[in-house]
């Protein structure tokens, strides 16, 4: 069975590949299919964007396709940056600029509660699409700390920890991240289809 990951983001691809333990599944990415068009992430929810990306890739390649859409929701900002997380500071995507803007928006704000959200969508060649959702709750630090990971990792302190994702060991993040939680849901929901070993 072929499973195509709907991402050209090398950071995200590496992170997802580390979480996969599928037996008998050939895992490729959108990078292996240059004919696949870029999908405009114009949905109002993580679910809508993930479904659109997975469905497009599945339709073009004819293979099962797995897409995710993820981002950061900050309570004091009414859920922003949300689906605009990657482009929070505008185009082109600039992680440092996004972090600077987030810190500026939270200046003087005491409640720094936030959560990372990841929705994964699996599109089937017969047109079906299923989704799972994972979350990681935490808070926003007062300044960027650490160089691990990408995006908002240097600012996000997960619940139960004092270090940011940017400071934590990769092995810790891979167990507790929003993407890890979504992947755990995927394993439960799709293990028979994807022949995941027990």
SS3 of residue 38 by DSSP:
coil
Residue 152 burial by Cβ neighbours in a 10 Å radius (0-12, 13-18, 19+) = buried
The residues annotated with a catalytic role in the active site are: 69
What is the helix (H) or strand (E) element at residue 133, kind and residue range?
A: strand 129-140
Residue 119, strand partner residues: 69, 133
Residues 29/4, Cβ–Cβ less than 8 Å: yes
Residues 178/116, Cβ–Cβ less than 8 Å: yes
């Amino acid at each position: 069975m072929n499973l195509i990951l709907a991402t050209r983001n090398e950071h995200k691809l590496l992170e997802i590949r580390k979480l996969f333990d599928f037996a008998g599944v050939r895992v490729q990415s959108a990078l292996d299919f240059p004919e696949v068009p870029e999908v405009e992430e114009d949905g109002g929810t993580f679910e809508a964007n993930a479904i659109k990306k997975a469905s497009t890739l599945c339709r073009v390649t004819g293979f099962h396709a797995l897409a995710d859409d993820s981002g950061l929701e900050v309570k004091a900002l009414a859920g922003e940056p949300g689906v605009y997380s990657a482009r929070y500071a505008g185009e082109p995507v600039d992680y440092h600029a996004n972090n600077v803007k987030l810190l500026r928006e939270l200046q003087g704000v005491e409640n720094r509660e936030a959560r990372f959200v990841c929705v994964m969508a699996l599109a089937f060649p017969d047109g079906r699409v299923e989704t799972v959702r994972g979350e990681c709750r935490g808070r926003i630090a007062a300044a960027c700390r650490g160089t691990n990971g990408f995006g908002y990792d240097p600012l996000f302190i997960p619940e139960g920890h004092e270090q940011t994702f940017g400071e934590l060991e990769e092995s810790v993040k891979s167990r507790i991240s929003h993407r890890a939680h979504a992947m755990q849901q995927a394993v439960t929901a799709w293990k028979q289809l994807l022949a995941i070993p027990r």
